[in-house]
Structure 1
Amino acid sequence: MSINGQFPVPERLVPVLHALPRPLYARTESLARAERTRMHRHPWVQLSYAISGVLHVHTPGESFVAPPQRAVWIPAEMDHEVLSFAHTEMRSLYLDASLFGSANDHCRVIEITPLTHELIKQFCTLDTEYDEQGAEGRLARVLTDQLRMAREVSMSLPLPQDPRALQLCRKLQDSPDDDRTLVEWGEELGASEKTLRRILMRETGLTFRVWRQRLRLLGALEELGQGIKVTQVALNFGYQSTSAFISAFRVQFGVTPGDFFPGHRVRPPMPGANPQAEW
């Protein structure tokens, strides 16, 4: 699976739901294989969350990645598709949009704290038509409050609309370890380095170096989530050393790979390692 979502996997049917039975509603799924939903929308907010596995959510102009401890907040009436790996444990929440006001204005990745994680797990055990006035309703309200306060984190990849810049980004999505410079890409695509640099900044808000760095690290989450060793993941995404990869990972996400995926506990990088050297 790659961050652009262009891969042949079975389609998972979008559940038919004409209205929410409660303002906060949960769905639990255990996905044995990699699956994707088609692009769709609905009149309520969706929190796409996996207690294990890595999720991708694609909207028309952006891609979002959520490893454990993160979830994707999808506003009401937002076109989106959801992609998951094999052996993903989904805990999706559907929420009445009126509960969140201005918090419903854009798609984003949010932090799931240990408290919110446990609240979601407990809420997902309730009956669909839980008692809103009793203890179950109080649990739903506490969970809703925690989601209102959730911190947004940078785990999205904006895509340009300009055909030349979009072609560049698509090619890098297919080959994230490609180290060609923007000058070399310009020669292939028939645009100057200055033009491509200006378009990328205008349409994504990121420089070419930062966009490619984010692409690589978000893509690395996928392989780490599959249990691939950190050393191999580092090589797959254009790094010359594991220590440089871990340093760059920490700069981007604020944690090491082992913090997201406990099976990847490795020795931390040596002091003074320069994570930008690999870019």
Structure 2
Amino acid sequence: MPVNGQGVWPERQVPRLEKLPRPLFARNESLENAVGTPRHTHAWVQLSYAIRGVLHVYTAEGSFVAPPQRAVWIPAGAEHEVFSSPHTEMRSLYLDAAAAGSGLDSCRVIEIDALTRELIRRFCELPVEYDESGADGRLAQVLLDQLLVAREVSLSLPLPSDPRLLRLCRALQEAPDDSRTLLQWSEDLGASEKTLRRLFLRETGLTFRVWRQRLRLHGSLEALEQGQRVTEVALACGYDSTSAFIAAFRQHFGVTPGDFFQS
């Protein structure tokens, strides 16, 4: 999510499609301002991908963030909403559920390597009703094959189902720089720190500390992609020092903030 919380974003309209014109369909958009789609579902798989900008996808299970070179795979029937940063160049793909198969039936973030990126670029130049039996159809099939074997990357954040923990997580999504400890939260939520710690690990697979750190790091990507100074981003995320932020960023992503968008 954005580093300063989700807030209220201008609404982007969901495409009105009764059915897909082809098993694989592309939609190009240039979004000058930050926008979000209302929560919705559809009968086909969606790949939310941007060649520039950062995308945030929210579902009941959690949040998923896709900077350039990554994309969010959204299964058919999954209720979701998508938020994009300013100056985003989207290249959304819609896949017929039957063509996509059953291999990827949950939301996830996947890596878009150089080959897949070029396949998407070329596919987005085709006419809507391309020749499925000719070269264009073969290009679409190669692209689909590449998407189905794309590597999953750790850019998702699960949400708990317990109402108390969900309230805590929603509050941190709105204010990622909130530095209250789990003990302090326990006083507000009416449960012991031990109970909250146990539930958090059971329902998310992460400790509270790791979950909040991942939230902050994911939220920093939009500001970094837009060229904001690392020091400003670190402070907005709730870090006391730039060095602590860089160390946490490197530990999670394997590179420094300065190298992340050049890789």
Q: TM-score normalized by structure 1?
A: 0.89
Number of the residue aligned with 2:181: 181
2:135 aligned with 1:131: no
Please give the alpha-carbon distance, in whole angstroms, between the structure 2 residues aligned to 1:186 and 1:41.
35
Instruction: Label 1:90 to 1:8 Cα distance change in 2 as closer, same or farther (>3 A).
Output: same
| C-alpha deviation, 1:141, in angstroms | 1.3
Q: Deviations over 1:221-262 (max 9, x none)?
A: 121122211121112222233333222212212233233334
Q: Are the counterparts in 1 of residues 7 and 174 from structure 2 also a CA contact under 8 Å? A: no
Q: Deviations over 1:26-58 (max 9, x none)?
A: 000001111111111111110000000000111
1:119 aligned residue = 119
- Within a 5 Å distance, the mapping from 1:22-37 to structure 2 comes to 22-37=22-37
Unaligned segments of structure 2, at least 5 residues: none
CA 239–221 in structure 1, closer or farther in 2 if over 3 Å, else same: same
2:257 matched residue in structure 1: 257
- Structure 1 stretch 176-185 or stretch 48-57: which is displaced more? 176-185
Q: Which has the higher contact order (CA 8 A, sep 6+)?
A: 2
> Per-residue deviation at 1:100?
2.8
- 1:21 matches 2:13: no
Shift, 1:144, TM fit: 0.8
Structure-1 residue corresponding to 2:12: 12
Aligned: 1:110 with 2:122:
no
1:137-166 superposed Cα distances (whole Å, 9 cap, x missing partner): 121111111101101111111111222111
Distance 1:44 1:216 in 2: 31
Equivalent residues in 2 for 1:37-48, closer than 5 Å: 37-48=37-48
Report the CA distance between 1:10 and its aligned residue.
1.4
Percent of aligned positions that are identical: 70
What secondary structure sits across from 1:146 in the alignment?
Answer: helix
1:205 paired to 2:185:
no
CA offset at residue 200 of structure 1?
0.9
Q: Determine if contact 2:11/2:38 at 8 Å carries over to the other structure.
A: yes
Question: How far does residue 204 in structure 1 lie from its aligned partner after superposition?
Answer: 1.2
State the distance in 1 between where 2:100 and 2:58 align. 22
Give the equivalent residue in structure 1 for 2:162: 162
Matching residue of 2:150: 150
Deviations 1:190-220 (A, max 9, x none): 2111111111112111111110111110111
Asked whether 1:59 is paired with 2:63, we answer no
Q: Would the aligned equivalents of 1:4 and 1:63 in 2 still touch at CA under 8 Å?
A: no
Give the aligned partner of residue 216 of structure 1.
Answer: 216
Deviates more, 1:72-81 or 1:128-137: 128-137
Partner SS for 2:68: coil
State the match for 1:270 in structure 2. Answer: none
SS at match of 1:153: coil
Please name the residue that 2:89 is paired with.
Answer: 89
- Equivalent residue for 1:227? 227
Partner Cα separation in structure 1 for residue 250 and residue 121 of structure 2? 28
Could you tell me whether the CA contact under 8 Å between 2:5 and 2:176 is conserved in 1? Answer: no
Rate the CA distance shift 1:60–1:4 in 2: closer, same or farther, 3 A: farther
Deviation at 1:4, TM superposition (A): 9.9
The amino acid across from 1:159 in the alignment is L
Q: Give the distance between the partners of 2:120 and 2:169, measured in 1 at CA.
A: 36
Query: Could you say what the CA RMSD is over the residues aligned between the two structures, in angstroms?
Result: 1.8
> CA–CA distance in 2 between the matches of 1:163 and 1:247?
33
The answer to whether the Cα contact below 8 Å between 2:104 and 2:148 also exists between their aligned partners in 1 is no
Q: Which amino acid in structure 1 is aligned with residue 34 of structure 2?
A: A
